[in-house]
Structure 1
Amino acid sequence: MTTLAPSAPAAPPEPGLTPDEVVARAEALAATLVERQAETERRGYYAEDTHEAFSRAGFYRILVPRRYGGYEFGPETFAKVAMALARGCPSTGWMYLFGAAHALVAGTVFEEEVQAELFAGGEFICPATVAPAGSARPDGEGGWILDGTWGYCSGSPYATHFIGHTLVAAGEGQPPAPMLFVAPREKFERLEDWGAQLGLKGSGSHSIRIEGARIPGRHTLGGHLSMMAVTEDTPGRRLHGPEYGGGPLSFMLLELGVLAVGMARGALDAYDLLMRTRTTSFFPIVPRTEDADFQARYGEAAGRIAAAEAAVLHAVQQWQALCGKEPAAFTREEELRLALIGREAVRLAWGAVEGQLFPTAGSSSVRAGERVERVWRDMSTLHSHAGNGVFLASLAPRELAQAHFGPAAG
């Protein structure tokens, strides 16, 4: 391992900024996103002026380590910011979260020399995918030549870097092994192939193509991000402290719960307005706010969303608390347990929207482009995410039990 001489930490643009202030900025900006949802969907990603506003607000530095000019506000502040943005515009919240979240990954798994290179600009916007794609061949100097296309790279329009996986040859008679790599912006091209999906049309989830790019060996790691153990310490824990020693898998999957809660809160906001401005369809004709059935539906949805928010934010707090213990405490079993809390938050939030709000909002309120309709589409599309629809739905519960009791017989 190459160890650099210690250098003075870089100061962020606003050294006195606090976590509460940055969350308040997100809530204020989220209110401006509501009327821009259709525009964002048409474009396929949020606007340049929105990106600039996020930059000025410090959102792209929340998880960047302090020594590199970041605010290092931690996962809970990041979750609250992303949740607020998803409440204003689901696509914008999704694109922001999956672009900015991986500063935590980079600050955890890479060595000091690499981190100094990755975070040199202060801001870090880095989509990441877990499905291996493309190919890599040795360059003869300890690095790799990459070729391929990686799909669903949420956050790619304003990306500074990209984290992906590919397969490389292992020993004789062995199957190919996964390799993680990080590539800077000048090494890849964003394809114009996003926007035809049912929902999250404005989430900037374009494909990324790499052609013949040389990636230094120090910018790669053997293995797969979802399987990386942190029980024997991490470079980030040694460099920055315990919150850069947590499990990447669990935090990545908790992010789905964070987004689901934000989206559902946006639908509840729209339903609240309908309650105040619409009447019942059947006699007695009264404002919906005075009708017992509408009151019950609103209350049921509000309770489920509040429970989902409490669950996912407390899970993030548990994640941070585990980081504060010795590295051995962050076991695979703990990772899976936390990840499954994220799944339950998705279920609660989706149950509120799909079961209570969407069916009773009224036909005119679920036309194409209406806020309730858009949230329903976006949350439906969230369910197609492999982390939620495949891993958390079937693999994670079984693996959690195996981690606790031991492998299944046979």
Structure 2
Amino acid sequence: MSSTLHPSIASADAPGRHSSVAGAPRLASLVSAARELVPYLREQAQATEAARRVSEATTQHFHEAGFFKLMQPARFGGYEYGFTAFIDVISELGRGCTSSAWGCSLGAVHQWLVGTFPAAAQDDVWGKDPSSIVCGSYAPAAVAEVVDGGYRIQGRWAFASNVDNSQWALLGVSFPASDIGGAGFLLAPRADWRIEDNWHVAGQAGTGSKTIVIDEPIFVPAHRRLSFAEASSNAPPGAAVNANPIYRIPFLSAVPVCLVSPLLGTAQGAVETFIELCGTRVTRGAVAGGGNRLAQFFPVQSRLAEAAAAVDAARLLIDRDTVQVEQLAAARHAIDIDARIRNRRDHAYATRLSHGAVESLFTAVGGAGLALDQPLQRMWRDANAIARHISLNWDAVSSMVGQHLLGLEPKGQY
């Protein structure tokens, strides 16, 4: 029995699971392509972790499969699928390698985000090379100095996942009150920044989430700006040129699924790996009592059942919320605060469920699971790393949800 939800079961009629772009591949073929890559990703996972980045070869497989076109605007060769299709593809990749799925996830979702920027910015990114992908560091790590025609910035931006394979960077900045005020993003090409190779971590090592450094001030034209207020609205600048309703979805109503989706796949992969391990492993016993198949132990059976249920529950929550967001956007309805905060709750809670599933399985696997060539220990470390992401941290998100439910002003991002 598999706990993987087939799209036909999980709201296949969601607007985002259909593309109106002529010549776009069917979603089923994209999901199938992701599934076919799983054995390759599993074989490469240990090397990916050792290299501390997703390889050029793996990235090329993602390009050839069309994953970076998934949510890219049609006028640049994209397919304009929605977030539900995105979840289907990325979670499938997560079964093979969490870090590789994470790299693909960020690269693919940023194609959507760039699609919400002004048209001139989209032309800058994709006009000469429609295959360009974008890394990002969202925290406003620098103040944008207002100059004639745009901004001047310099500084350091940490945690830029998949930076080695990216041609552009999405950089978080603060805009002066004398300008538009608040936080937002600026786009900078690869020629304007360098990579500081400082990603040495216990989990998600293969994501290559290194630091972007701009040593000397660079100029960024004003059209490469997207304020957080614009990104959080139901009508960002890109909606004027990209008519598909997916480009009208507020930033935090759906984008965190790019962080959750790799973990959904990882949890499913952990269930599959655990089943395989139980089918072959015979206990040794400390002094006596060895020789029993791991699958025969009641606690092992119970933990497996609980983990499989948690994976299904997490996927159902994320799928339900994302389908509703797409439906509201397609109907040109605003996505209200109740829906936004519920979605943020479920992004974090689905993460908690998925992380708990991996944690429970790893607890039951014994000493054999500690070997570095045993996938389950890497899944455990990767799941723990993702669960600590500030956007998915249960303590941070749940307090905001509780405030809202109690009629208080919610403190957080939604």
With the shorter chain as reference, the TM-score category is 0.7 to 0.9
Deviation sequence 1:208-255 (CA, Å, 0-9, x none): 11232211011113x436x84324565326632211100111222233
> 1:287 Cα deviation (Å)?
2.7
Partner residue in 2 for 1:184: 189
1:148-297 paired onto structure 2 within 5 Å: 148-171=155-178, 177-194=182-199, 196-210=200-214, 211-221=216-226, 223-224=227-228, 228-231=231-234, 235-236=238-239, 239-280=242-283, 285-297=291-303
**Matching residue's letter, 1:181:** L
Partner residue in 2 for 1:331: 336
Partner residue in 1 for 2:102: 94
Q: 2:45 aligns with which of 37, 45, 54?
A: 37
CA distance in 1, matches of 2:65, 2:249: 26
Partner residue in 2 for 1:387: 391
Contact 2:71 2:80 in 1 (8 A): yes
Q: TM-score, normalised by structure 2?
A: 0.85
> 1:389 Cα deviation (Å)?
2.2
Specify whether residues 389 and 369 from structure 1 end up closer, same or farther in structure 2 by C-alpha distance, changes over 3 A only: farther
CA distance in 2, matches of 1:128, 1:67: 23
Specify whether residues 370 and 281 from structure 1 end up closer, same or farther in structure 2 by C-alpha distance, changes over 3 A only: same
CA distance in 2, matches of 1:62, 1:232: 21
**Matching residue's letter, 2:42:** V
Identity of aligned residues (%): 26
> 1:285 Cα deviation (Å)?
4.5
CA distance in 1, matches of 2:400, 2:256: 11
Specify whether residues 34 and 233 from structure 1 end up closer, same or farther in structure 2 by C-alpha distance, changes over 3 A only: closer
* Number of aligned residue pairs: 386
**Matching residue's letter, 2:269:** G
> 1:48 Cα deviation (Å)?
1.3
SS at match of 1:257: helix
**Matching residue's letter, 2:306:** E
**Matching residue's letter, 1:358:** F
Specify whether residues 251 and 378 from structure 1 end up closer, same or farther in structure 2 by C-alpha distance, changes over 3 A only: same
Contact 1:70 1:123 in 2 (8 A): no
389-398 or 273-282, which moves further after superposition? 389-398
CA distance in 2, matches of 1:92, 1:232: 32
**Matching residue's letter, 1:342:** H
CA distance in 1, matches of 2:30, 2:396: 31
CA distance in 1, matches of 2:240, 2:304: 44
Q: Which runs of 5+ in 1 are unaligned?
A: 1-11
Deviation sequence 1:248-280 (CA, Å, 0-9, x none): 112222333222211111211221111110135
Deviation sequence 1:347-399 (CA, Å, 0-9, x none): 11111111x20111111112334211111111111122111227853453145
CA distance in 2, matches of 1:27, 1:336: 32
Q: TM-score, normalised by structure 1?
A: 0.86
Specify whether residues 293 and 285 from structure 1 end up closer, same or farther in structure 2 by C-alpha distance, changes over 3 A only: farther
Partner residue in 2 for 1:8: none
> 1:181 Cα deviation (Å)?
0.8
Partner residue in 2 for 1:303: 309
Specify whether residues 40 and 387 from structure 1 end up closer, same or farther in structure 2 by C-alpha distance, changes over 3 A only: same
> 1:150 Cα deviation (Å)?
0.2
1:14-33 paired onto structure 2 within 5 Å: 15-33=23-41
CA distance in 2, matches of 1:390, 1:248: 19
Q: 1:318 aligns with which of 315, 324, 347?
A: 324
SS at match of 1:127: strand
CA distance in 1, matches of 2:169, 2:24: 30
Contact 2:348 2:393 in 1 (8 A): no
